[in-house]
Amino acid sequence: MEQPLINEYHRLIKNIHRTDGYIFNYFGQKLAPFDLSVQQYILLRRLSEAYPGSLTAGELKEKMTDVNSDITRLTDRLVAKNLLVREVDPQNRRKVNLRLTEESYTFVERVSVDFKNFESIVSHLTDDEVSTLNTLLEKIINQ
């Protein structure tokens, strides 16, 4: 049995959590045919933004939307899928750079075509509603 809501703040937190799950599942279904998780896709997109350059694990972690991302686990899986490579930095041998290969960059660009219209998940909202919602969510995040 579902617990009754205590107040509107409780309802808000519940709705934010449900919405996050809805969006995460939506993208997870779109990525399933490519054998990618949402976090793997986000990591690959961040690396594609740096392509043909590279990023360190620390730089990549800063760019991830999930602050609890396990970069080592994610990169291990993507290396195993031949979607990224690790290279020791020639200027600093303690530093490891992560980058896409030409083939994996092409793959990421192909996958991203399915996400060109990712806003469709919220396209039924008005411009004012989107602006208000962004303002409120940013207010929560930046308290």
* pLDDT tens profile 80-125: 999 999 998 888 888 889 999 999 999 999 888 877 777 788 889 9
* pLDDT beyond 90 at 44: yes
Does a structural domain hold residue 141?
Answer: no
Does a structural domain hold residue 99?
Answer: yes
39 contact partners, CB below 8 Å, separation of at least 6: 64, 66, 69, 74
Tell me how many domains the chain contains: 1
30 in Cβ contact with 113 (< 8 Å): no
Task: Give the predicted TM-score (pTM) of the model.
Answer: 0.78
**Band of pLDDT at residue 69, cut at 50, 70 and 90:** low
Look up the domain containing 92 and give its range.
Answer: 8-115
Does a structural domain hold residue 73?
Answer: yes
Looking at residue 52, its pLDDT comes to 93
Question: Which residues are paired to 96 by β-bridges?
Answer: 88
CATH number at residue 69: 1.10.10.10
* 10/110 Cα distance (integer angstroms): 41
Give the CA-trace dihedral at 22, 138, 142, 24, to 10 degrees.
20
CB atoms within 10 A of CB 23: 14
- The percentage of the chain sitting over the pLDDT mark of 70, rounded to a whole number, equals 94
